[in-house]
Amino acid sequence: MVNVADIKAAIADRELDIKSRFEKGKIIRRELSLPNMPLHPGVANIITGVRRCGKSTLAMMLPRGMAHSYVNFEDERLRGMDSSELNKVLEALHELKGPDIGVLVFDEIQNIVGWESFVSRITESKVVVVTGSNARLLSKELATALTGRHVDHELFPFSFREYLEYIGLDAEYNDTYITAKKARLMLELLEYVRYGGFVYFYGRNGDAQRSNTLLLTLYRDIIERDIVQRHGIKMTEKLRELARYSIANITSVISYNNAAKLIGIKSTQTALNWMSYLQNAYLLIALEKYSPKLKERTIAPKKIFCIDNGIANSISPELFGQDGRLMENTVAIELLRRRSYSKNRQEISYWRDYSDNEVDFVVRYGNRVEQLIQVTDISSAMEVKRRETGALLKASEILKCRNLVVITWDYEAEQRIEGKKIVFIPLLRWLLKYKT
């Protein structure tokens, strides 16, 4: 049982903390574009994403002058609240701020079973923004409770463009051909590829040990709070082993059945469930193999990526310096970020044939393949490997796609091979060329 006084204290303390953050911190306008979020009664905006990616800050930027309030349901004073007590939250808000609050921001409200019906009811008269670190917010139950009255948004850690804005280099987006400025941007790109997009979380003061410690703490919070506690996992050490194994093998194709055997999980279904939990918590991303056949897409091994290179390096230090793999992980997250922010219907897959020729990314609409992307850490024409271009050409022929791209570390060219044009573009320019 939670009393109104405790709710009021939790709200007041959290809003003071947020106010201080806005006054003292550097707030970056996110690429998840604010105009795409309709702020009017009758529609709930659902913002999900990995912990500490900036969901709460983004949510508090939305009201744009409208009277608003923020409630964090992970506050220890609100834990154990039942859905029947949620009206006490409205009572507390009205006592604190009066009856004219236009926008309500609820953070991690999915911790309360039955929250969907409460939100559905109050969206008739209030603008509601719900944030959470679990994709279950987008569950069938939510879709049923808020049919046609919710808009879903996924937020990611900083893109490279947002990273540059944070460190004050955003004005140099278009200066990648000026030698001195390109050199500085390339140094920052290497930093971003190795340490990821959580710079706003751990700061930028050269203290690698501090950043590593904070990222490890973030990882443990995801495992413990978003998976172990939420799903009641008993074999916690086995779950942690599966998570570590998956992160150590990012950019690789993984069979869940083989992973289960390797870790000593007797049930493949348990491994499947745990992998879904890791993905729902936005820690891991699993891409399907491209095939026009649904059954083959479903049963084929998945290609695994981590939501952030900094987290991956903290958990698996052996990844540090494997810049080709880190580049590929960066491209995977950027492709998914662009798809999410632009609200397009692209699907991202990988392709592999029976001779183990592999293309890193297949970008498609339905069964229509739009682009084939290969990622490599080469910096000159002499480093171009036949193995990589050969797989592109084979996939091009089979999938009927002529838009062939190789993302490199620092090699730019167009080559015609076997009558097909392949565009080589440096990662720096590929990351900066797209703006929402």
Residue 173 confidence (pLDDT): 62
- Are the C-beta atoms of 201 and 28 separated by less than 8 Å? no
Task: Assign 175 a pLDDT band (cuts: 50, 70, 90).
Answer: low
CATH of domain 4-154: 3.40.50
At 341-399, the pLDDT tens digits run 988 889 999 999 999 999 999 999 988 999 999 999 999 989 988 878 999 999 999 99
Q: CA end-to-end span of the chain, whole Å?
A: 45
- Per residue in 26-74, pLDDT (tens digit) is 788 889 866 656 677 788 889 999 999 999 888 888 877 778 899 999 9
* Statement: residue 15 has pLDDT above 80: yes
DSSP code string of 54-106: SHHHHHHHTTTTS-EEEEETTSGGGTT--GGGHHHHHHHHHHHH-TT--EEEE
The CA-based dihedral angle spanning residues 379, 382, 387, 389, taken in that order and rounded to the nearest 10 degrees: 70
pLDDT for the residue numbered 436 = 37
Question: Taking 60 as the threshold, does the pLDDT of residue 180 lie above it?
Answer: yes
Question: Encoding tokens for residue 3?
Answer: 């009393």
Per-residue three-class SS string for 301-325: CEEEEECCHHHHHHHCHHHCCCHHH
Position 210 pLDDT exceeds 80: no
pLDDT band at 110 (very low <50, low <70, confident <90, very high): confident
Position 172 scores a pLDDT of 62
Quick check: 416 pLDDT over 50?
A: yes
Instruction: Inform me whether the pLDDT recorded for 125 exceeds 80.
Output: yes
| Percentage of the chain exceeding pLDDT 90 | 62
**How many CA atoms lie less than 13 Å away from 83 in the CB half-sphere?**
12
Query: How far apart (Å, rounded) are the C-alpha atoms in residues 365 and 16?
Result: 45
Structural Rg of the chain based on CA atoms: 23
pLDDT band at residue 174 using 50, 70 and 90 as cut-offs: low
**Whole-angstrom distance, CA of residue 155 vs CA of residue 147:** 22
What are the residue ranges spanned by the domains of the chain? Answer: 4-154, 194-433
pLDDT band at 219 (very low <50, low <70, confident <90, very high): very high
The SS3 assignment for 406 reads strand
Name the residue with higher pLDDT: 60 or 196. Answer: 196
What is the percent of the chain with per-residue pLDDT over 70, rounded to a whole number?
Answer: 94
Supply the pLDDT for residue 292: 87
Instruction: Indicate the range of 40-44, 193-197, 220-224 predicted with least confidence.
Output: 40-44
DSSP string, 94-145: HHHH-TT--EEEEESGGGSTTHHHHHHHHTTTSEEEEEESSGGGGSHHHHHH
Asked whether the predicted pLDDT for residue 10 surpasses 50, the reply is: yes
Rounded CA-CA distance 103/145 in Å is 20
Q: What is the pLDDT of residue 303?
A: 98
Torsion, CA 249, CA 211, CA 278, CA 77, rounded to 10: 170
Q: Mean pLDDT over all residues of the chain?
A: 89
| Global confidence as pTM | 0.93
Across the range 245-255, mean pLDDT stands at: 97
User: pLDDT-derived band of residue 238, with 50, 70 and 90 as boundaries?
Assistant: very high
The pLDDT assigned to 435 comes to: 46
